[in-house]
Structure 1
Amino acid sequence: MKMLMVGAGAIGGYFGARLLEKGEDVTFLVREGRKEKIERQGLSVNSRHGDLHLQPALLTKTMHAEPFEVIILTTKAYQLEQAIEDIRPFVGEETMILPLLNGIAHIDQLVAAFGEEAVIGGLCFIESTVDEDGEIVQTSPIHQLVYGERSGEQTKRIEKLKSHFDGTIADFVLSGNINQDMWHKYMFITAMSGITSLMESPLGPIRELPSGQTAIKTLLEELEAAMTAMEAPIKKGIASIQLDKMNSMDASMKSSMQRDMEKGQGIEADHLQGYLIEKAHEANVSVPVLETVYTKLKLYEANRNVAK
């Protein structure tokens, strides 16, 4: 099965490398600068699950290639419009597009661009980053990619994809309810990124304070209320379940959004928090903690733009 991994960064580089390690046919779609660097020094992964050093097949948007059977999107939300245009030449009638973006709004964008049938569901749980040398550093015990048909069906194409994902030294999980999985991940990452970025702190010190614990709980409850009003496919009481999860995580955990802010990089405020605020307002659901988070993030973006 010919796979195209869009991006060779912290997410795409890691899961793509694990698939290559197994022997799968994976090509990376990268920018010219990243292509030159990987050609020069290889694709390196430093991981608690085993290190890798590979010389993968590389492609840029100006190069020609036949359509791929599956295209895995690992870009940030603010890169999605460009990514859609970049992959168009490599999408055929039978291509499956598997997005691993946080949030949910990207699904509509991809369906509008490529059709309902082409887009399957996906998400991932992993803590990884690209260091100053361009190497992927993966530190979490969890390195999970979840995927499935958005209809919930066990189709022939998804079973074929499963046969190529199985046996990889990473946790590839076929879900029968990927829509709910994506919404639950959306709630979790919106809360986790929001609270750590707002407080400029790892999770542990926040939740140790009674006021911090209240802030996390209230934010999750606001998210559940907004999603319920949208008739999203979430479990009743999911806010309480996710609060327990956040209280059980390592105290040193930071969100990727927080790390991006520390580096002065772009963030997904509109795609994550902003989208839910818009939907909450449409449904007359009050979300004051979420709005406070969003205000912090938009001020960061404004200051970042001024500094450029």
Structure 2
Amino acid sequence: MKVLVVGAGAIGGYFGGRLLEKGEDVTFLVREQRKEKLQQTGLEIRSKNGDLQLTPKLITKNDDSQLFDVILMSTKSYHLEHAIKDIQSFVGPETMILPLLNGIAHVETLVEAFGEERVIGGLCFVETTLSEDGAVVQTSPVNQLVYGERTGETTERIEKLEECFSGTKAEFVKSDNINQDMWHKYLFITAMSGITSLMEMPIGPIRDLESGQRTIQAFLEELVAVMEEIEAPIQQGIAEIQLKRINSMAAEMKSSMQRDVEKRQPTEFEHLQGYLLTQAKEVSIPVPILETIYTKLKLYELKIAMNKQMENA
């Protein structure tokens, strides 16, 4: 299969690199600046699952169009609209769009852009970042990508995709219930990113406090109440399951949103906390913790915007 990976950053670079390592036909769609850098250095992956030095195929949005069998979308949510425009000429009648974004709102956006049939479900669990020299650095051994038909069916194209993904040095998992998997991750990442960004601490010190433990639990219950009211496909008792997961994480674990705040970079708060806050308002469910977190992150974004205006004045 011909695979197009949108971006060669922390997530796309890692999973695309593992597919390329196996020998699959992988191309990376990148910006001109990133293309020039990769042409000089190659794609380097420093990983607990094995280091890599690769020479990837690279294209930009302005290159001659060619069609791909599957397109992995690994952009931040605030770059989604631009990414959709960038890949238009690479999408054919049979192309599968596999999004790896956090959250759930992007699915509707992709369906509107490319049609119901082209968009399959996906998510990933991996802790990666780009180093200052542009290498993809994996900081924990977990490297799972989950995918599947949103209908739950086992189709011929998903079987072909499974064959393409099998045998890599990363864990590619075909799911028969990808919608539920995506909502469960959405719950987890919204809670984890919200709590750590609000408290400005790794998860360990927060949960070690009795008040912190209660706050995490109450926040999960808030989010689940909204999801249940809008009939999201979540399983019973998922709040307790995710609480146990949070409590089992390494004490020094930070969310990617928290790291973005520390670096004074944009966050995905509208896509994560904002989307559920909108849903809560529509079904009249009080969510005081979610609203507090959203307000803090909104003010953070406004402060960043004001600072940029001052710098450009």
Q: Shift in Å at residue 286 of structure 1?
A: 1.0
Matched residue, 1:127:
127
Matched residue, 2:195:
195
Q: Shift in Å at residue 141 of structure 1?
A: 1.8
Q: Secondary structure at the match of 2:182?
A: helix
Deviations 1:89-126 (A, max 9, x none): 00000000000000000000000000000000000000
Matched residue, 1:176:
176
Q: Secondary structure at the match of 1:276?
A: helix
Structure 2 counterpart of 1:219, one-letter code: F
Matched residue, 1:275:
275
Matched residue, 1:153:
153
Aligned pair count reads 308
**What are the equivalent positions in structure 2 for 1:228-307 lying under 5 Å apart?**
228-307=228-307
**What are the equivalent positions in structure 2 for 1:42-57 lying under 5 Å apart?**
42-57=42-57
Structure 2 counterpart of 1:201, one-letter code: M
CA distance in 1, matches of 2:93, 2:64: 17
Q: Secondary structure at the match of 2:49?
A: coil
**What are the equivalent positions in structure 2 for 1:62-81 lying under 5 Å apart?**
62-81=62-81
CA distance in 2, matches of 1:68, 1:41: 26
Q: Shift in Å at residue 64 of structure 1?
A: 1.0
Structure 1 counterpart of 2:120, one-letter code: I
CA distance in 2, matches of 1:263, 1:86: 27
Q: Secondary structure at the match of 2:103?
A: coil
Matched residue, 2:311:
none
CA distance in 2, matches of 1:78, 1:125: 20
Matched residue, 2:96:
96
Structure 2 counterpart of 1:229, one-letter code: E
Moved beyond 3 Å, runs of 4+: none
Matched residue, 1:38:
38
Matched residue, 1:28:
28
Structure 2 counterpart of 1:55, one-letter code: T
CA distance in 1, matches of 2:219, 2:251: 19
Structure 2 counterpart of 1:23, one-letter code: G
Q: Shift in Å at residue 140 of structure 1?
A: 1.2
Deviations 1:158-204 (A, max 9, x none): 00000010000000000000000000000000000000000111000
Q: Shift in Å at residue 65 of structure 1?
A: 3.1
**RMSD of aligned alpha carbons:** 0.5
Q: Secondary structure at the match of 2:10?
A: coil
Q: TM-score, normalised by structure 1?
A: 0.99
Identical-pair percentage: 67
Structure 1 counterpart of 2:303, one-letter code: N
Matched, 1:16 2:20: no
Q: Shift in Å at residue 236 of structure 1?
A: 1.2
Structure 2 counterpart of 1:117, one-letter code: E
CA distance in 2, matches of 1:38, 1:181: 34
Q: Shift in Å at residue 128 of structure 1?
A: 0.4
CA distance in 1, matches of 2:140, 2:286: 35
Deviations 1:197-226 (A, max 9, x none): 001110000000001001100100000000
Q: TM-score, normalised by structure 2?
A: 0.98
